[in-house]
Structure 1
Amino acid sequence: MVDRWKRDVGLNPRTAPISSFGNDKFLKVKEISREITLAGEYLINSYVTNVDELIKVRDQMNIMIKQADETRYKRTHLSKRDRFSAILGYDQPNEVSVRVPSGIKNKGCGSHKRIKSQKEIAISRFGKKYRECKVCHQQGHNSRTCPQLREE
């Protein structure tokens, strides 16, 4: 495919700047991986008409993959925690103290009603009948605690 029909036609991968996120070690790894990718693309484009040479390139790459697998299995395997600490550059402490937060309600509790305005609350209280004392018919106490019965 011709480059002029691609979306990234304006970008030249050989001269495009490499992001400086991370430390220098990973910056160097990015540069080397870009060079390897460009070399692979160049070889494919060069031998696109010559299938025999393209097969030789593929075979060489398979040999290199096998070599990489052999060296990878010879290394000591790190635990997942150690691999992440090496990547992030941060050692996680062995003991983590977690305090239980106070005032957490359980799932499903709470009223699922809408919030009423003060005016609406006052209107709903207006027609409501409250308990009253059977002796003096006043609110705030009952017949056992009625002040009129205490006086007698």
Structure 2
Amino acid sequence: MRGIIPVDVLHSRHISIGSDSRVDKLSNDVYLEVGQCLMNFKGDEDKITAFLDNIHSWKSNMLSVVSGKLDFTNKDDVIQSLVGVPRPEKIDILPPQGIRNKGCGTSKRLIGAGERAITKSKRPKRLCLGCKEFVNHDIRNSPVRKASSN
């Protein structure tokens, strides 16, 4: 049991996008079989080389049979064949509204966190009894008191 991987683990290795059609199930089975062969041949270079040679010969035979079917003329056809879902007629996804990056060119300047912290740390204005105004000093260091003491 050491060299053999359980089938359930290998089934989850390839997930086809699209409907649960017979073709999707068959392609999943191909992936499963190839994966099991590679796991069983692990460490044996001769068996892996023979397996790879067989795959190359099968591939060349199959491509000669279906060469007319694989005519991808544009990029959309290639992507649709890989994804397995046709391109939608209308795209419903729109860019988000109302996002404003810093420095986006508007006339209002964004204030950073450091500048906000400095403005919040200033002392509140209080009534100075010397000059009778709301200012950032009190009577102890009032300019009126300093002028009268000189």
> Which gives a bigger RCO, structure 1 or 2 (Cα 8 Å, sep 6+)?
2
Q: TM-score range by the shorter chain?
A: 0.3 to 0.5
Give the TM-score, by structure 1 length.
0.43
Give the TM-score, by structure 2 length.
0.44
